[in-house]
Amino acid sequence: MLLIPAIDLKDGHCVRLKQGDMAQATVFSEDPAAMARAWLDKGARRLHLVDLNGAFAGKPQNFTAIRSILKAVGDDIPVQLGGGIRDLDTIERYIDAGLRYVIIGTAAVKNPGFLKDACSAFGGHVIVGLDAKDGKVATDGWSKLTGHEVLDLARKFEDWGVDAIVYTDIGRDGMLTGVNIEATVKLAQSLSIPVIASGGLSNLEDIRRLCAVESDGVEGVICGRAIYSGDLDFAKAQELADQLNG
């Protein structure tokens, strides 16, 4: 079970939002690169970056901070990034800078041809982020709820060659209310590619419940507010996951 610390970037700072609301941003660090090294030192095996400004602007806005993080971690662990990735040139620029995976969210839903092209040009580097509420996919920084069913889109994207799905229950993200295990497992069981859980992780009990369903295809979980607020000790959580699924 991969426990993946999230570093959400806004105006070059490391922040956390509540339910995707840019107005409810808490700054946790002025130095994202140092934060990245800190999670690496605590045993992280992958990092999850989000360009929050980019997600709303539709193009990269925190490239300097992202590049500093990639330099800080080097080849030690893979890094994945979402937010504002709308064209192949952006993907190429990030991969050239050392990024392992791009996460395509809104653009995958609104411009499926782009996703297809990305999978073709950058196979092995493309993850789709599906943000959902009550089984329906949301786009544009969670501001718009579509009529698309998560399962239908995920199966289609799997056929196109994406590497994994990051599934976020947007009703729980940043609220410390627990991961939506049931919906995450339902999605994972319907796919052959891995699913990464996101949204609501709050304590060690969540880790235990996730480890119990790893064999269903839930590869990891993104750790956000809980590891910054102190509700969850990241090092202890990763140690527990290793014990349970070692």
State the catalytic residues.
Answer: 8, 131
Cβ atoms < 10 Å from Cβ of 113: 8
Residues 6+ positions from 21 with CB-CB distance below 8 Å? none
Residues 40, 76 contacting (CB under 8 angstroms): yes
Residue 5 DSSP SS3: strand
Q: How far apart are CA 106 and CA 92, in angstroms?
A: 19
Q: Which of 18, 33, 105, 109 is nearest to 66 (CA)?
A: 33
Residues 6+ positions from 141 with CB-CB distance below 8 Å? 20, 22, 55, 56, 106
